[in-house]
Structure 1
Amino acid sequence: MTEHTRIKGRSAALRIENLDTDQIMPKQFLRGIDKSGLKEGLLYDLRFDAQGQARSDFVLNQPSYIGASILIGGSNFGCGSSREHAVWGLQQFGIRAVIASSFAEIFYSNAMNNRLLLVTLPPEKIAQLMDDADAPSRNTVEIDIKEQSLTSYSVQANFELMPRHLKMFLEGLDSIGLSLTYQNDISKFADQHWARQPWLREVAAITHQRL
């Protein structure tokens, strides 16, 4: 259960306001028909120069932040197009949580439905977390999902999750898994629906057979 209730790891600060999904996952990495290979595309133009060489001044390329699992971001994180690949790329890279003062609405839904934890805190707390992240000796963040609390070297704060999102994280469910927890209710509703309107059942199949 600890795996589902706590996230603890090194943090890295991305001091970029309005970081959009095209920056998080550039369009050239959206050509596949599955989720593979998205780790390589994450923040590509920030991580690499025009020749494909790693930018030494970018935080996630620096030795102290290799393996960082928590990002501290600027406001309106994840704005732009509604590409779910941005979330999948962050997860494949090893990011388990993003903390910012605000998130784009569609990105927020995509992330939480895929169990990438997003934590919203006031700007002053974000500034403190970024300062902590910049110091390798104090850049560890621990998040207690069940208690909805966060602790770093300088910050102790609480945050709020919607009840369904909290249930998903605590029980290890994505949006499909959450829906399946209501399978009995869904089946009961379907049975009642067909009992009331049996002529609507399998209309397409029956019509196809007749044709």
Structure 2
Amino acid sequence: MEQFHQHTGVAAPMKVADVDTDQIIPVRFCSGVDKSGLDDALFADWRESPEFVLNVEPFTGSTVLVAGENFGCGSSREWAVWALQAFGFRAVLAPRFGDIFTGNSFKNGLLLVELGSGEIEQIWKEIDERPGTEVTVDLRDHLVRVGDLIFGFTVDPTHRQRLLDGTDDIDLTLQYAADIAAFEARRRPTLPTARRIGA
């Protein structure tokens, strides 16, 4: 998993509440674990409209999404995180996120930042006045910078450390590879064995 310390990128405003995982990526794109092409599947139904924010310059290359309340609610669809990342998003800012989406995001290296509704609206205003505005998200210092605006945020310490280190679940397990191997070496002789009847 890629490390996350600080990221600066063009911010796209998504002024919609309760965006669920089926809107982020419709279920027809969620088969298998192949992540190729998921950038095209992101908000696929909404992107049929030429006016949709991610179809309009300068937001076509956005890497920070500034969303509304309860972003990522709905089903436990890991593809939603993969599609956001495939498009190029490194961070999503919103007043609140769906619980399962939050877990999937941090496990895959997508930083979620909770800010107050008023702070999100201030960022939207900056973007409206200056499309192409860049947002800096600093995980080390827990700060979001937008022009002259600076907002603090908190992240669960475990999630924060995993992002800073770039460690996913497999990396965490492999840290105990020697202990696992030692356990397996001790355990094998004690396992029950099968014996054929009448042998």
CA distance in 2, matches of 1:35, 1:85: 8
* Compared CA separation, residues 134 and 182, structure 1 to 2 (3 A): farther
For 1:199, the equivalent position in structure 2 comes to 190
SS at match of 1:169: helix
| Match among 146, 152, 155 for residue 161 of structure 1 | 155
What displacement does 1:153 show? Answer: 1.9
What displacement does 1:31 show? Answer: 2.8
SS at match of 1:176: helix
SS at match of 2:61: coil
Q: Check whether the contact 2:59–2:132 (CA below 8 A) recurs between aligned residues.
A: no
* Compared CA separation, residues 23 and 210, structure 1 to 2 (3 A): farther
What displacement does 1:107 show? Answer: 0.2
User: Within 5 A, what are the aligned runs for 1:107-118?
Assistant: 107-118=101-112
CA distance in 2, matches of 1:166, 1:108: 13
Bigger Cα displacement from structure 2, 64-73 vs 132-141: 132-141
For 1:181, the equivalent position in structure 2 comes to 175
For 1:52, the equivalent position in structure 2 comes to none
CA distance in 1, matches of 2:75, 2:185: 40
SS at match of 1:82: coil
- Counterpart of 1:199 in structure 2: which amino acid? T
For 1:126, the equivalent position in structure 2 comes to 120
| Structure whose residues are more often helix by fraction | 1
SS at match of 1:92: helix
- Percent identity, aligned pairs only? 38
For 2:13, the equivalent position in structure 1 comes to 13
* Compared CA separation, residues 136 and 183, structure 1 to 2 (3 A): farther
Q: Check whether the contact 1:12–1:134 (CA below 8 A) recurs between aligned residues.
A: no
| Match among 55, 59, 82 for residue 61 of structure 1 | 55
What displacement does 1:161 show? Answer: 1.5
Q: More relative contact order in 1 or in 2 (CA 8 Å, sep 6+)? A: 2
- Counterpart of 2:190 in structure 1: which amino acid? W
For 1:90, the equivalent position in structure 2 comes to 84
Bigger Cα displacement from structure 2, 159-168 vs 129-138: 129-138
CA distance in 1, matches of 2:33, 2:175: 28
Q: Check whether the contact 1:128–1:154 (CA below 8 A) recurs between aligned residues.
A: no
- Tell me the TM-score normalised to structure 2 length: 0.88
CA distance in 1, matches of 2:59, 2:139: 23
What displacement does 1:194 show? Answer: 3.3
Q: Check whether the contact 1:11–1:69 (CA below 8 A) recurs between aligned residues.
A: yes
What displacement does 1:193 show? Answer: 7.5
Q: Check whether the contact 2:11–2:132 (CA below 8 A) recurs between aligned residues.
A: no
* Compared CA separation, residues 184 and 138, structure 1 to 2 (3 A): same
5+ residue gaps, structure 1: 49-54
What displacement does 1:199 show? Answer: 2.6
CA distance in 2, matches of 1:166, 1:82: 22
5+ residue gaps, structure 2: none
What displacement does 1:114 show? Answer: 0.2
